[in-house]
Structure 1
Amino acid sequence: MEVVSVVGGALLSATFEWLLGKLDLIGSLNLREQVYAELQNSKNFLPQIRDVLEDAEERQITSRSVKRWLSELRDLAYNMEDILDEFGVDSLRSKLSVKPQANTNKVLKIIPTCFFGSRQKDAKSDLETVSRIKDVSTRLQVIVAERSALGLSLSMNAGDRPKRGVAERVPTTSLPVSHLYSREVDIDVILQQLFTAESDHDGVPVIPVIGMGGVGKTTLVQQVYNEERLKGQFELKVWVYVSDEFDVLQITRTILQAVTGENCDLKDLNLLQIRLKERLSGKKFLLVLDDVWNENYDHWDILRRPLMSGEHGSKIIATTRNDSVALAMGRKHLIHRVKGLREDECLSLFATHALGADNFDAHPNLKGIGEEIVKKCRGLPLAAKVLGGLLHGKLSCVEWQDILNSEMWDLPEDKSGILPALRLSYHNLPSHLKQCFAFCAIFPKGREFDKDTQYVAGEILYKLDHMWKGEMLEMSFERVRHCSFYQRICDKFDRFHVLDKLKCLRTFLPLYPFDHHIDCYISNSVLHNFLPKLTNLRVLSLSGYCIMKLPESVGDLKRLRYINLSHTEIQSIPRSVGFLVYLQSLILHNCKKLAWLPTTIGNLRDLHHLDITDTPSLQEMPLQVGNLIRLLTLPKFIVSKADRLRLRDLRNLSLLRGHLSLLELHNVLDVQDVMEVNFDKIEGLDDVALEWTSDFLNPRDESQEMLVLSQLKPHQNLKGLTISCYAGVAFPSWMGDPSYSNLVYLELCHCQRSSSLPSLGQIPSLKELIISEKLKLEDCPKLTRKLPGLLPLVIKLEIVKCPRLTYSPVSLPSLQELYVQTCNEAVLKSLIDLTSLTTLRISGISKLPCLPKSFTQSMIVVEAMEIKECDEFTSLWEEGTSIENLARLGSIKVENCPVLVSLTREEQGLLPYNLRHLIFKKCEALETLPDEMMMLEGCKKNMLRLEELSIKDCSSLTSFPPGKLPTSLKSLKITNCKKLDGQLPSAVKSLFIDNCMELESLPMRMVQQCTALENLNIFECIKVKSLALDCLQSLDNLSCLTISGCEGLEYFPESGFFIPNLMFPIISDCKILKSLPSRMYNLISLQNLFIQGCPNVVSVLEGGFPPKLMYLEIDCPNLKQHMSEWGLKRLTSLERFSINWICPPNDVLPTSLTSFHMVNVSNLKSISKGLLQNLNFLQSLYIEDCPKLRSLPKEGLPPSLGRLIIRNCPLLKQRCLEEKGDSWPLIYNIPCIKIDETDPYFAFIDFWLLF
């Protein structure tokens, strides 16, 4: 809580400045004399308090009396702010700033009359206001009197106080980058450990890097991570920030996303680990876990399980402060301790940041003081940097002496938990940066958040008035990012009833877990009963909560500045929101179902941010949006016809910045509307999208659209431009104007009637400044004009559906990604100088027999190649093509090329040495893989590094080359191949067999040597009658076994099978299977079990289920065994349970359940109390296809329930209708209720995602 004490005063410094500014405006208001006099009296006390705040903020840590004094002062400041709010000063300031020449009396006439003046308040109201102001004044007088008794002194004499501002203080990031003093030895030691081939007996070796906070552990490891000597040593390198919350699920997901380069929405740890295990399998990786605090060995043991599948030589580096953490993760002899800098090195580092030089030669008068300051840094680089940055630009000995003599140094670190140097840097921040720091302190350490969003979060943060371009905002945020020390300072409330006691609450933020994919619930009673009582609320964020409707009572929270409803299922915004006159930010990002904005939104004249990105259901906007003259953020503007929102209504939104999409531009009927906008005057926009209707079947006014586009000339600051569904035959001349020197992104999409490109090559700056990092030409069938001859800086080029684009040599020396679809094959020949190309994708080029030699010979760094839907494609490249040019090629995918016979036209069919992934799909003519596919040209002893081989729907391919598959192969997928034979390499870890109709049993010789096999998946092999279980039992590493659609499979052996590490078995759609494997209760590692579509199975597992089962799904319609015999209550780890065809009897379900899914219980009429009464952790209840179900338990559902899904239960649906059904009172308080929705939430993650 000491952090709260330190940052608590941050709000005071800025709040007092803000209050004084407001009080300066009261003279412009027509207030009653007594009200004005009392406000003026209160104002007179504020400067006396402000002058001692700096001293009070510093002394509060050592003096409880000062701390109490500040607390009382903070309450008074908030009370005064509440009073001033009632006079509408903010609204007045808005009008004055927009029309600075306007007469004040004229401005007053257009401000709502309910806010001020004797004409607006009756006598009783005035008396109450005067009484409240008097109370504040009296308490302020006491505060001032106590100032002297506490010995608080002025920071500086009046008039001498320097104005702290960002502009006067150079940010640390702009200073020269510091050297890693004396770290070369540390780097060499860690590198030697990384190069050593030693393996941990328990898996991947962990190298703990230990040192105290601020000593430079992370910086050191970053240097190692980017070390040139590591280049090529590891196939994968991943960096994960851990923090004090060792969330195994989130860390696992982060690692997986870093490995795959894709977002992952899986919430199930088991599925995440299986997928990560597959991705890491056979790969040599380096993983850095930064800032680890976890001492629990079990947590570490769970995290490392999928990491053990990596190739020999993989390593993990973990930075931590504690020996106990290091010992829990790795061997003691691998620990590397980071020591502090020597005093001379620390002094040099301090001088670099304070003076811009590594010595004091230019300022000898400061050297002695600097040396004394550095001694207090105790060799910590962070302390030296922070204090150096703090003193940068300050050359007065007095200022340096103030830092040296500060009482902060005398405070022991363990008392406050804050390094004294960091504490000092905080106290020397300007007041508005202290506000930002205070807001950052709300969030857990390591939390990422958007700075624009956070800067408008209520009174906590610095006002953005007159800063709309954001230059100071950017600088301020950088300063705070380097000076802040994030801590969680509030508890997680499991029950929101505590809100009833927080009548003065000003900020409501959802501090949900790091895992943003976890569902968060908030009850209707909180929304309808508690929130309306929080009348002092300034900041309200319900982001991520499962809510679909916001009550109209939100309009009673008159002081709200910030509302965030992003990532919710809300469908409309209450009309009352339009009366929140102080509202500055309305965040509706990713509200997929939002379809309506109220017309009252036009009243929000002080609104700065209306974020409606990713709101696909919002098809029109109210006319009143044009009244929001202070808007900075408006991601899209939807043009309507006639009396609705027209393009000309954009004319008053001249402050817009960032991205803007102008949609439905075909609704512009009068070009005069465009001219009134003066689009080129909106200089804050740097990314613009212009979009018309995609309907090209009905008549379009081409000339009108050309006129509209010609008038929509953006400002020259433009960086990105997208034009979609434009029906004009030509582009306007401004698109080739040399003045657009900042343009880096250009996309022309579905411009189906355009016959020529804009004059891109005529822009002189194109050769130097980049006109496009991504030039995308998509679905422009009439386009004939040539591309420019030279695009020197383009790094991504996509040409899609432009069959008439003519041949012309185009030099692309910087191009990294190329995608060509449905174009003339001559386009490929026109592209030259592809020396930087790493990714090539080609699709739908019908007359392409192979990649021309002239095209491939320059692709010296290409890494991935994909060829699809090329009807005449017979081989990859021409005969005589040297594979030496393709040394980096690691992935080849060929799909739907019906005449492809072989990979190359040469007899031996050589492939690049580094090829890791080879995928064929729907290549019906492919007959064989090259006999020498694993051999390098002229060096038969060197084998390919092939790790993945996938073959699907290649009906002519009958077998593999005998004994020729490379030993590096880890994953083999075979789909719809009629014959299967050949012994697999021992290193294969994943085997996928699908739709192999002739396969009757799993060949023993195929798998008996596959001792590394971890995933075995058999799909749609209808003749399979049995499995070689003797082989399976020898697969000690097998963790995932899937048998699906094997309609001939009748039985498992009575003896059962024992696979010690099996975690995830799936048995699905085996129509004649009569029994499940016996003795599965011995599988102590098994956590997930899915049994589906097995109609002849009449009983579940003999002896019960595995004891550590977490997820269970049973779908066997003819089960006879009573559920009371299943032993479910013994499964204390079971979290999710899905049952088809049966309603469980009372008191059989384990209390650990968080999700229960019941489907296809045709005769179920009611759910009894006993079924759910002990499920105190139940969060999701899903009931589907129960046509006779009429009622829920009359006692209600578990109070923990956050989501209720009902589908295809017509009788129950009628009883659960909102406000009408008999059962509505039983469920109304559940946060998320969905009945027969088209996109239902499924209680279980689809296990087919694994494949």
Structure 2
Amino acid sequence: MAEGLIQKATGQKQLEDLGSDYFRELSARSFFQPSSRGELSRFVMHDLINDLAQFVARRICFRMEEKLENNEGHTIITKARHSSYVRGYYDGMQKFEIFQNAKNLRSFLPFGLRDNDSYLTSDVPLQLLPSLRRLRVLSLRRYRICELSSSIGDLKHVRFLDLTGALIATLPESVSTLYNLQTLILIDCRNLSKLPTNMSNLINLRHLDVTRANSLQEMPPKIGKLTSLLTLSNFIVRQGNGSTINELGSLIQLRGTLCISGLENVENAMDATRANLKDKQHLDVLLMKWSNISDNSRNTSVDSEVLDMLRPHGKLKELTINGYHGPKFPTWVGNSLFSNMVNLKFQNCDKCISLPPLGRLPSLTKLYIQGTKALQNVGLEFYGSGSSNPFPALEFLTFADMAEWKDWTPFEVEEGSQAFSRLSELSIKRCPKLLGKLPNNLPSLRKLDIKDCPLLVVAWVPCPTGLIEVRNTLQFDSLISLSLKDVSILNSFNNLEVGNEAAATENARYSPLSSLTSLRVESIQGLTCLPSWFVQGLAGLQELSLYGCPELTSLWKNEVRIHHHLLTLQRLVIEGCPKLISLFEEDEDEEGLQQHEELPYMMQLEYLEIKNCEKMEKLPRGLHNLRSLLELMINTCPCIISFPKTGLPSTLRTLRIESCDALRSLPELMMLTSLEKLEVLSCPSLMYLCSSSTGLPCNLRNMHVWGCAKLESVLAEEGMKINCTSLESFAICKCESLKSLPDVTQNNFDGGCLKNLNYLMIEDCENVESIPEGWFAATNLRELQVYGCKKLNGLPHHAYNNLTSLQLLRISSWDVATELISHFTNLTFLRLENVDKGGNKPPSEWGLHRLSSLRRLILVDYGWASFPPVEEEEEDGMMLWLPPSLNGLRILLFRNLEKLSCKEFRSLELLHIWDCPKLTTITKLGLPLSLVHLWISGCPLLSELLIDRLPPSLLDLYIHRCPLLKERCSKKKKGQYWPLISHIPQVEIDFENVFLDPSN
């Protein structure tokens, strides 16, 4: 459309419909094909078609990413009509220099590989784009631009303008002179508060999309003159001299989705009639919004009359009514003539005391009722009088935040009648007074979610005598997911006894919950256990979760020998049950050992998690019989001292133990032959990890130990060695009592017994004095981090020759011969923290320049007064101490640093200067021309940038806790450095975007 390729023929079809026809025709001929991603709106070109299209269009189209020969490229660009490029996260002016000669350009289209926001230099919207006078298609989609030039009005040919995600507060008034404009997209322009006053001049405008432009307060005057509008996402009614709802009347062509907000500003109900919604036959979705602000001065009768007058046409598919203050809904809501209605929402209608007869809507599939605070009863009128099968198509029903709702009158079922025959999901949330009877004849219900309804009493049938009289008996034969939170149960639910095993089995045979696969129980007061008769009925349960049940002491009692407990259960989570002592009640033998019948229970369990159970004392002795268990998580169970002597199942792959304060020992790890991941965190009483003389499990791949203050050794017996060829990652952190790592078994294979180890971290283990040499025979080690170990003297010398694959090295507080680091020739990341600070050799002799692959360098806590750390007479050779491959440099905690220069780092893209309290100057030698990211923080004396200009490559500037520099970079105060930084796409000072924040 914007390129004029679609010409309107005679007849009633709109240009958009013609374009859709053309696209369908091309798709039918395989010119376009549906995307393999499965998204209905995405299509792709076959490679051969794409190649042909590019060949045919090569003289008028170009993509910025294409490499063009000099002469050919100049010719193409000067004649090009259409361009596209992939949007980066930061896009500076250098990227767009190619457009300086593209004076014939008609299309400026950035595309994002992802729909994330990006930052664009202000030079593009303020200088470059106004010079491209022949543009027809202009997109700045997802660029966080803060300003548009008023000269955008000179782009008289623009027909398509997309500013999605822009941070602009107002559009220039000159936009009103873009008389050919057909499409204006302002989606997610959350700061936009006003549209141009004279927008009514844009008589060719067909699409105005202000979706989620939530700061917009009104429509421009006389918007009703835009009679070509097909899309208007939100019409905002303004009180007083603003846009009145009358303006909608003439916009007869509107289609798709329309939101009318600010309806509280309609003072005369007759004005609503003039909106003429009945004649807008192409609308599919309608949203009506009143302000949610409680205002007792509002006239509820006006609200009722306005809604009555806003009756839409009968083909509407979706309707939302939000913030309506009338006591009841008009008769057209729920009228069976709305036969196409599939989705209906009532939100925050807090004065409404009754619901319309929605059961008469034959196509309704989704109904959402939320915030009707005055409603006390959902009565028979809800179903619709005379209807034998109300809600015949409804699949999803939600009630939420209904503060006064007490009772739901069930539909009176007669022979041949059925309400909610297709209802699949029912959700009732935050209805604190609901205590009435719920419908229980829901043959298609698969998911039931009841939360925060503390007066609602629920039970299941059939069940033992004593619960039959409960008002809400759950009897849903198709139910697969049930979630209950903060509802009531009878005390007898826990105490009922089933006389014998046969009776329990017979009861389970007819359980209405036999199809259930997922059960979540949360915050149920009085629940002490799951009765055997109930558990027996969960024949197909796969997931069981119990959260915040304060009285729960065990899952079930052991009073009856039950042969089949949850045979299909795969996932069990118990969290926040402070009285839980054990999973199951168990007897003890004469020696005090736990006894439990060795019967098959939960034999398909794969995942078990127990968290925040303060009184949990023991795990079941029969835990080792769970032959399918793959993951076991124990978190914040401070009373557990040890694991069962019978151990854990050999199938276990992941074991995570966290915040178990009393835990003194782990299970026998060597028996866990399938264990791949072991994490032990914050277990302050644990003294060792492995008791077996054979060390770690043979298939262990990842081991992480953190915060075990009393841990003295990984292995219990002195002299034990590790032999674990599968180990890939090993980390031990904040273990103050640890003195050394265990030795490693030697063998003749390359890399020794740790041949697969690629990650080794030892952090804040202040008493570790040495690391056995065997750890450094791991020739595949890629990351080594050893810091905060005050007594550690350094690496064994042979490590510098063995670790040929090392790519990341972080070390601190070593008196190490720094020049030996240059042996790690494959390093890409190096952090030196207080290393060789007292050494005799200057940094230029450290040999770091030989690290030809080094990309990132972090230097922490050095006392140099200048950077680079050289004398004035050495400046000619001062950069020889670091490699030319370096593209990232971070300088942290240089307490004596006064001046800095990094110009000669010719490849440097990232520079961080952090906490250098004496730094005053970035010298005249300045910054490298390749610099992209500059972050400066905690430099309170820094005020001088002795440079004429910042590198044009700079895309990201961050300044924090630098008050003097902040003053000079202020836009508002016209600081002397503002001209130096105004072109940078992203400038943030003290966490504020300077282009957006008025204080700057």
| TM-score bracket for the superposition, by shorter chain length | 0.5 to 0.7
Q: What's the counterpart of residue 748 of structure 1?
A: 369
**2:690 touches 2:696 (CA, 8 Å); kept in 1?**
no
TM-score by length of 2: 0.66
Relative distance call for 1:644 and 1:893 in structure 2 (3 A) is farther
* Residue of structure 1 aligned with 2:707, choices 994, 1003, 1020: 1020
- Identify the residue that residue 501 of structure 1 maps to in structure 2: 101
Aligned residue for 1:946? 629
What is the aligned partner in structure 2 of residue 62 from structure 1? Answer: none
Q: Verify the 8 A CA contact 1:1062 1:1083 in the aligned structure 2.
A: yes
Aligned match of 1:1221: 975
Contact persistence 1:1049–1:1073 (CA under 8 A): yes
Q: Deviations over 1:964-1002 (max 9, x none)?
A: 322332222222102142233243333332222223555
1:717-1116 matched pairs, under 5 angstroms: 717-733=340-356, 736=358, 738-739=360-361, 741-757=362-378, 761-762=383-384, 770-773=393-396, 775-786=397-408, 791-805=420-434, 806-824=436-454, 826-827=457-458, 829=460, 830=472, 831=474, 832-837=476-481, 838-850=517-529, 862-876=541-555, 889-904=569-584, 907=596, 912-935=602-625, 943-978=626-661, 979=663, 980-984=665-669, 985-1000=672-687, 1002-1003=689-690, 1005=692, 1008-1024=695-711, 1034=724, 1036-1039=726-729, 1041=731, 1043=733, 1049-1051=766-768, 1053-1055=770-772, 1057-1058=775-776, 1059=778, 1070=788, 1079=799, 1083=803, 1103-1104=820-821, 1107-1110=825-828
C-alpha distance 898-166 of structure 1, shift in aligned 2 (>3 A): closer
SS in 2 for 1:526: helix
**Deviation (angstroms), 1:503:** 1.2
Alignment of 1:688-727 (within 5 A): 705-707=324-326, 710=329, 713=333, 717-727=340-350
Per the alignment, in what secondary structure is the counterpart of residue 622 of structure 2? coil
Contact persistence 2:407–2:437 (CA under 8 A): no
Contact 1:729/1:755, CA 8 A, preserved across alignment:
no
Superposition deviation, residue 580 in structure 1: 2.4
Which secondary structure state, in structure 1, belongs to the residue aligned with residue 629 of structure 2?
coil
Q: Determine the C-alpha separation between the residues in 1 that align with 2:272 and 2:534.
A: 45
1:168–1:547: structure 2 CA closer, same or farther, 3 Å change rule? Answer: closer
Q: Number of aligned residue pairs: give it.
A: 799
| Cα separation, 2, equivalents of 1:854 and 1:1180 | 65
Query: What one-letter code is carried by the residue in structure 2 that aligns with 1:754?
Result: L
Deviation at 1:1211, TM superposition (A): 1.3
Shift, 1:1153, TM fit: 5.0
Q: Distance in 1 between matches of 2:720 and 2:676?
A: 18
Secondary structure of residue in 1 paired with 2:449: strand
1:770 alignment partner, SS class = coil
Kindly report which structure 2 residues correspond to 1:649-660, keeping only aligned pairs within 5 A, or say none. Answer: 655-659=253-257
Change over 3 Å in CA distance of 1:760–1:526 after alignment to 2? same
SS in 2 for 1:495: helix
Residue 96 of structure 2 aligns with an amino acid whose one-letter code is F
Contact 1:1066 1:1090 (C-alpha < 8 Å) held by counterparts = yes
> CA–CA distance in 2 between the matches of 1:809 and 1:1183?
64
Alpha-carbon RMSD:
5.5
1:584 aligned onto 2:337? no
Q: Contact 1:992/1:1018 (CA < 8 Å) preserved in 2?
A: yes
Residue of structure 2 equivalent to 1:286: none
Matching of residues 301-312 of structure 1 within 5 Å: none
Q: Is residue 637–residue 662 contact of structure 1 (8 Å, CA) maintained in 2?
A: yes
Q: How does 1:617-632 map to 2 (within 5 A)?
A: 618=215, 620-622=217-219, 624=221, 627=224, 629-632=227-230
Alignment check: 8 A CA contact 1:1087 1:1108 kept: yes
CA distance in structure 2 between the aligned counterparts of 1:875 and 1:1155, rounded to whole angstroms: 56
Change (3 A) 1:660 1:1139: farther
Evaluate the alpha carbon distance shift between residue 601 and residue 562 of structure 1 in structure 2; reply closer, same or farther with a 3 A threshold. same
| 1:1127 counterpart = 2:848 | yes
Deviations 1:550-598 (A, max 9, x none): 3333232222222223345545433333432333333333445555544
Structure 1 residue 644, shift from structure 2 partner: 4.4
The code of the aligned residue for 1:1051 comes to V
Contact 2:893 2:916 in 1 (8 A): yes
For 2:532 and 2:567, the matched residues in 1 are separated by 16
Q: Report the CA distance between 1:737 and its aligned residue.
A: 5.1
Residue of structure 2 in register with 1:562 after alignment? 160
Of 126, 145, 150 in structure 2, the residue corresponding to residue 552 of structure 1 is: 150
Q: C-alpha separation between the residues in 2 aligned to 1:769 and 1:11?
A: 45
Separation of aligned partners in 1, 2:694 and 2:211: 51
How many angstroms apart in 2 are the aligned matches of 1:568 and 1:1012?
A: 52
1:1162 corresponds to 2:917: yes
2:952 paired residue number: 1199
Q: Deviations over 1:661-687 (max 9, x none)?
A: 555666666655655545566555555
For residues 264 and 235 of structure 2, the distance between their equivalents in structure 1, rounded to whole angstroms, comes to 13
Shift of residue 1235 of structure 1? 1.7
Go from structure 1 to structure 2 and tell me whether the alpha carbon gap of 1:168 and 1:675 turns closer, same or farther (over 3 Å shift).
closer
Equivalent of residue 928 in structure 2, options 1151, 1163, 1173: 1173
How far residue 533 of structure 1 moved from its aligned partner, in angstroms, is: 1.4
Q: Is the 8 A contact 1:849 1:875 kept in 2?
A: yes
The 3 A distance-change label for structure 1 pair 1205 and 1050 is same
Contact 1:782 1:802 in 2 (8 A): yes
Distance 2:651 2:993 in 1: 43
Q: 1:586 to 1:779 in 2, by over 3 A?
A: same
Question: Are 1:1062 and 1:1085, in contact at CA under 8 Å, matched by a contact in 2?
Answer: yes
Q: Distance in 2 between matches of 1:638 and 1:814?
A: 41
Residues 314-329 of structure 1 correspond to what in structure 2 (within 5 A)? Answer: none
Counterpart CA distance in 1 for 2:223 and 2:328 is 21
**Structure 2 letter corresponding to 1:898:** P
Return the offset for 1:1161.
Answer: 2.0
Where in structure 2 are the equivalents of 1:146-157 lying within 5 Å?
Answer: none
Alignment-mate amino acid for residue 1224 of structure 1: W
CA contact (8 A) 1:1097 1:1118 kept: yes
- Cα distance in 2, alignment partners of residues 1113 and 531 from structure 1: 44
**Superposed displacement of residue 499, structure 1:** 0.9
Evaluate the alpha carbon distance shift between residue 165 and residue 974 of structure 1 in structure 2; reply closer, same or farther with a 3 A threshold: closer
Q: Which runs of 5+ in 2 are unaligned?
A: 67-80, 304-323, 412-418, 461-471, 482-516, 587-595, 737-763, 857-886, 996-1000
Deviation at 1:542, TM superposition (A): 1.9
Shift of 1:793: 3.1
Report the CA distance shift for 1:975/1:501 in structure 2 as closer, same or farther (over 3 A): same
- Cα distance change on mapping 1:1217 and 1:681 into 2, 3 Å: same
Relative to 1, partners in 2 of residues 1:835 and 1:733: Cα closer, same or farther, differing over 3 Å? closer
Change in 2 beyond 3 A, CA 1:1088/1:418: same
The separation in 1 between residues aligned to 2:628 and 2:684, in whole angstroms, is: 31
Distance 2:64 2:354 in 1: 49
Kept after mapping to 2: 8 A contact 1:902/1:930: yes
Identity of aligned residues (%): 27
So what's the TM-score if we normalise by structure 1? 0.54
Residue identity matched to 2:101: K
User: In 1, are the aligned partners of 2:238 and 2:262 still within 8 Å (CA)?
Assistant: yes
1:1141 and 2:893 aligned: yes
Deviates more, 1:574-583 or 1:901-910: 901-910
